[in-house]
Amino acid sequence: MAQPTYHIACLPGDGIGPEVTRGAVTVLQAAAAAHGFRLEFSEHLVGGAAYDAVGHPFPDETQQACDRADAILFGAVGGPRYDGLSWDLRPEAALLAIRKRYDLYGNLRPILLYPPLKDASPLKNEIIGGGVDFIIVRELVSGIYFGEPRGITTLPDGTRRGVNTEVYTDAEIARIARMGFEIARGRRKKLTSVDKANVMEAGRLWRTVVDEVAQEYPDVEVEHLLADNAAMQILRRPGDFDVMLASNLFGDFLSDEAAMLTGSIGLLPSASLGSARNRFDLPKGFYEPIHGSAPDIAGQDRANPLAAILCGAMLLRHSLGQEEAARAVERAVAEVLEEGFRTGDIKVPGSAVLGTTAMAAEVAKRVG
C-alpha cells in the first residue's frame, strides 16, 4: 500500500518564527518516517518578512500555496518596527486574512502542565498538584472584534466616542458549541461554557444556544460560568476543567490567563479549525504557537521550540488523521522534559539547557 503524502505550507514569519518552525519540521519529519507516511513542506513569506519583500503581509503566492496545502504551519509575526504601518499592512493582518479565507471559526488552546514543570507554575502545589489538563475552545471569527457598528466618532460637542459591538447569531454559536462538545466527548466529557448572560443579550443567546446543542450530547456534562467567575476559577480549581467554551473576547483573555498556569508560553500550541477541508476531507487547519515573535532573541538559538513542535502534533491529529504519530510527538516532548532537558525560559538548577535546534533534535530522536 502506497504511503500517503501530505502537503504542508510553512509560514515561518518574523523574529523567532523561522527557528521554531524549523524545529517543528524536524520533529514532523521524524514522525512521518516512523509512522509510514510522507510530508512535503513548502516555505512561504508572511507577516513582516512578506511586507519587507513584496509590500504586503499576505502575498498572493502565499495565499495560493495555502489553498493547495493540506495544513498550514505558522511561526510568528510582528515586531516594533512595523507599528507605524496602517492596519492592513501590519504583519498581524495576515492572521485575520487567513482566518477569514478558510473560515477558521474555532481556536483550540490546550492548557497542559507537565509534572516536571510544576515548580515553574505561579500557582501553589496544593492547587495544581492534581494536574492541569484542559482545552479552551474559542470562537474566532465573530463577536466584538468583528461586530458592526464600530469605530471612533466625534460628537457635535467635541466628545470622542468609541464603539464596538458584540454580535452573534444562533448559527455562529451552535457551530462552535458543537466543536466544543465533540472535543469534550473525546476527552473527559465535561464542557464549561463561559458568558455574561447576566448583563449581555449576546450572552443570554450564547447560553440558550449552548443548552440547545447540549441536547445532542447527553453524555457530556455542561457547566455555565460567568466570564469574571471563570477567570477566578481557572486560578482556584484549574484541575476541574476539561473543555472550556468561550466567545472571541472571553476566549482571548481566558486563554492568555490559563497559559500562565504552565510556567511558560513557550510550551503552548494552538490550532484554528473551521469549515475548510483538505484533500483527505479533514480540516485544513492553521497551527500557531501562542508566543510572539520575540525579536529580542531572534537568531540566537535561544527560543523554546516546544510550542511549535506541539503544534505539529495537533496538525498530525486534526488535519492528517495521524493520531498515533501525534501521540508519539506528545510523548517525546514529555520524555525530554522528564529527563531534565530545558530551554532557557524554563531552566532550573541542575537542568541541561539546550538551544532551539538541540531541543528539537532531542524530541525528534524520541519520536522515532
Dihedral angle sign, alpha carbons of residues 294, 300, 304, 306: positive
- Per the annotation, the verdict on 256 as an active-site residue is yes
Do residues 367 and 344 touch, judged by C-beta distance below 8 A? no
Rounded Cα distance, 352 and 342, in Å: 6
Do residues 195 and 250 touch, judged by C-beta distance below 8 A? yes
Options 252, 284, 287, 345, the catalytic residue: 252
What letter represents residue 194's amino acid?
A: V
- Per the annotation, the verdict on 14 as an active-site residue is no
Residues β-bridged to residue 69:
none
- Per the annotation, the verdict on 196 as an active-site residue is yes
Do the bridges between strand 190-195 and strand 221-226 make them parallel or antiparallel, or are there none, so unpaired? parallel
Rounded Cα distance, 10 and 24, in Å: 10
Q: Number of C-alpha atoms within 13 angstroms, CB side, residue 179?
A: 28
Residues β-bridged to residue 63:
none
Options 67, 88, 211, 228, the catalytic residue: 228
Residue 63: is it exposed, middle or buried by C-beta count within 10 angstroms (0-12/13-18/19+)? middle
In residues, how long is the chain? 368
Do the bridges between strand 133-139 and strand 221-226 make them parallel or antiparallel, or are there none, so unpaired? unpaired
Options 145, 189, 190, 240, the catalytic residue: 145
Rounded Cα distance, 98 and 286, in Å: 8
Rounded Cα distance, 100 and 102, in Å: 6
Q: The cell 464542557 sits on which residue?
A: 191
- Per the annotation, the verdict on 252 as an active-site residue is yes
Options 196, 242, 287, 345, the catalytic residue: 196
| C-alpha distances out from residue 106 to 12, 151, 209, Å | 22, 25, 16
- Per the annotation, the verdict on 228 as an active-site residue is yes
Options 52, 103, 240, 256, the catalytic residue: 256
The phi, psi pair for 70, rounded to 5°, reads -85, -20
Q: State the CB neighbour count (10 A cutoff) for residue 321.
A: 16
Longest pairwise C-alpha distance within the chain: 75
Do residues 76 and 14 touch, judged by C-beta distance below 8 A? yes
Residues known to be catalytic: 145, 196, 228, 252, 256
